[in-house]
Amino acid sequence: MNLLLLAIAPIFIIIIYVYFKDKYDKEPKGLLLASFLLGAVVSIIVTTIIYLGFDILLPLNDSFSVPQQFVKAFLVVGLTEEFSKYIIVRFFAQPKKAFNEPFDGIMYAVMVSMGFAATENVFYVLESGYITGFLRAFTAVPAHATFGILMGYFMGKAKFSKHSIRLNLLGLLLAVTFHGFYDFFLFIDFIPGIWTGAIISLILGVILSHKAIKKHQDDSHFNPDNNL
């Protein structure tokens, strides 16, 4: 029970934090819950299926090959996982009437990402124990949140733009890029000290996520300061 709590606590801390950053027009709790559950189940299923396809079509067997680990980080893991989240935000959340301001892109993308991270984290923590749980609470879980925020920032803009396809794909690309770099530095940890690159990419992601949240807060058409 304590391990399960350790696995899910950071997920809900991040959800609550982002939820209260949505200052001007809260999203329906039912849609938020549905997004979370879709991330926790459907995204995991989609990711697993694509992983199986990669294992057949693009087997990467040399864990000490930097090029292979680069491909694994960006294409196999980064693109697969972020795409599995992207399709839920794009085809479930974005068309909803309640998705009525750019900040909603961040809110729904975070819910999907935290659903995905919850399932992933439960498996890792129950299998590996408390140390893994504490480490992931300050690394992998917030990393997934930043990937979601950066993706959601552009998907929020896309809903209200004539260039929606380009902005949606830009959000996906940015999430894949940060996810790829984060994992790549961890995958090549056989190079002494290289893991610090993952921490640097996470810190940069957190900084950009904070700016993305602030930007959509300031620009919201529900912000009273914009209606003076």
d(CA 81, CA 179): 9
To the nearest 10°, report the CA torsion of 97, 101, 103, 106. 30
Query: Is-above-0.85 flag for pTM?
Result: yes
pLDDT reported for residue 1: 65
Rama region for 220: left / alpha / beta (φ>0; ψ in -120 to 50; rest): beta
Helix count and strand count (H, E) for the chain: 9, 0
Domain spans of the chain? 2-22+76-220
Distance CA 126, CA 121 (A): 8
21-48, pLDDT tens digit by residue? 999 899 999 999 999 999 999 999 999 9
Would you state the pLDDT for residue 60? Answer: 87
Q: What is the CA radius of gyration of the chain?
A: 17
Q: What is the pLDDT of residue 227?
A: 67
Q: Taking 80 as the threshold, does the pLDDT of residue 226 lie above it?
A: no
* Interval 71-130: pLDDT, tens: 999 999 999 999 999 999 999 999 999 999 999 999 999 999 999 999 999 999 999 999
- Separation CA 117–CA 208 (nearest Å): 20
